[in-house]
Amino acid sequence: MTEEILPLEIRSLEVVLSQRQILDDISLTLKKGDLMWLRGRNGAGKSTLMRALVGLLTYRGEVFIKGEPPYTLKAKSKFIYVPDEALLYDDLSLSEHARFSSMSYFQGDAEAKILGLLEQFQLTPYLGEYPTAHSRGMRQKLSLSLALGLDLPLYILDEPYNALDVQAQETLSEILAAKIKSGASILVTAHQEGITRSLLERIPHARQADLEDGKLLERITSKKAGKALLDKPSDKSPDKSPDKSLDTSL
């Protein structure tokens, strides 16, 4: 039987910035249909981890996206990264963004899917307008629609719920649940406590982990309670205890 090529595999990743260790011995795997929600205080390293995974920061260790290093063309065709600040073209309208994204990934049906997501986010009346005329929340909705309208194995979303109103947050959770149901894998950061219930109601097997002191600690999720219980690490020292690393077996 052929071994599954994982959408995302991280082995002993470390990031040092300005001589300070930001991430230490991070290991994580995402299987097909996994959603991993990363939490952590400001400055914990969530965005740093995201940028390292997609090849925007130098790191030690190994990262594989569908079996390939993230900086290779093969890997780049298998994932999309949405940063916490929307990166859009000022001279393209919303509808032109949809067409451009579809063409860039050679997915002819993506344009219609993106337009459908824009409709879910109630942006259809603004298709002929440019992002510069829109609020941060509207730009965020466009950025997410451009990414989630594509058919890819892996989505890496950094604080996608930021700047979204409550209704848009619920819409995003529904879209993510549909992506997971289709077999996609998602790595997402979010700090809003209310997102816990929203995600668990739709994705009961969603995984959660905290970044603390450069380490990744996975949580045990409880759908019934609608919240997570921390899987406490061992009292042993970090260099001797495997409990300080993330056990990603399912």
pLDDT in tens, 17-47: 999 999 999 999 999 999 999 988 888 899 9
User: Mean pLDDT throughout 223-250?
Assistant: 40
State the pLDDT at residue 59.
95
pLDDT tens-digit readout, 137-189: 999 999 999 999 999 999 999 999 999 999 999 999 999 999 999 999 999 99
The answer to whether 164 and 141 have CB atoms below 8 angstroms apart is yes
Report d(CA 131, CA 229) in Å as an integer: 40
Neighbours of 96 (CB within 10 A): 14
String of DSSP letters for 62-87: EEEBTTB-TTSHHHHTSEEEE-SS--
Contacts of 177 (CB under 8 A, 6+ apart): 202, 203
State the pLDDT at residue 98.
98
pLDDT over 70 percentage in the chain: 86
Residues of the chain with CATH 3.40.50.300: 1-78+154-160+179-230
Residue 241 pLDDT greater than 80, yes or no: no
| Sheet of 8-17, strand order | 20-30, 8-17, 60-64
State the pLDDT at residue 69.
94
Measure CA 212 to chain center. Answer: 18
Alpha-carbon torsion angle 33, 104, 49, 203, nearest 10: -20
CA distances from 75 to 6, 37, 100, 209 (A): 12, 22, 20, 24
Report d(CA 182, CA 139) in Å as an integer: 26
Determine the topology of domain 1-78+154-160+179-230 in CATH. Answer: Rossmann fold (3.40.50)
Query: Residue 91 is encoded by which pair of tokens?
Result: 């001279």
State the pLDDT at residue 199.
81
pLDDT tens-digit readout, 195-230: 777 787 899 889 989 999 899 998 765 444 444 433
State the pLDDT at residue 229.
38
Which is higher by pLDDT, 70 or 231? Answer: 70
- Full-model pTM: 0.85
pLDDT tens-digit readout, 112-131: 999 999 999 999 999 999 99
Neighbours of 32 (CB within 10 A): 14
Residue 2 pLDDT greater than 70, yes or no: no
pLDDT tens-digit readout, 39-82: 888 888 999 999 999 989 999 999 999 999 999 999 999 999 99
